Amino acid sequence: GENVEQHPSTLSVQEGDSAVIKCTYSDSASNYFPWYKQELGKRPQLIIDIRSNVGEKKDQRIAVTLNKTAKHFSLHITETQPEDSAVYFCAASGNDYKLSFGAGTTVTVRA
């Protein structure tokens, strides 16, 4: 099955700086790569996603890049704000719609 690795496990950034989280996947058949933000005790919220036919996608302060050859994808958050503090998960899926999640990154934005 798919194996998704995520780094770093924790990330502390100064407000206004950028945050980058990286993930790798093992199954070359995976074609859908979403990113989720999860606050304590709540459901994961989809913040951005990318498909394998696209190399980069941006939505305001959030961007995701995908390198299919290297099988890795990254989340970039610019101009971080305290409300960006949360746990972020990457995931990968093929046509079976099953999502395999990374271990998560706890992001802390220091005011």
Q: Which positions lie near another protein, rule CB under 8 A?
A: 1, 32, 41-46, 49, 51, 89, 93, 95, 97-104
Q: In angstroms, what is the C-alpha Rg of the chain?
A: 13
Q: Residue 27 corresponds to which tokens in the numbers above?
A: 């199954």
Closer residue to another protein in complex, CB, 52/78: 52
Instruction: Provide, rounded to whole angstroms, the least separation between the CB of residue 47 and another protein.
Output: 13
CA-wise closest residue to 104 among 35, 41, 50, 28: 35
Instruction: Provide, rounded to whole angstroms, the least separation between the CB of residue 84 and another protein.
Output: 19
Instruction: Provide, rounded to whole angstroms, the least separation between the CB of residue 65 and another protein.
Output: 18
Alpha-carbon distance of 90 to 35, in angstroms, equals 5
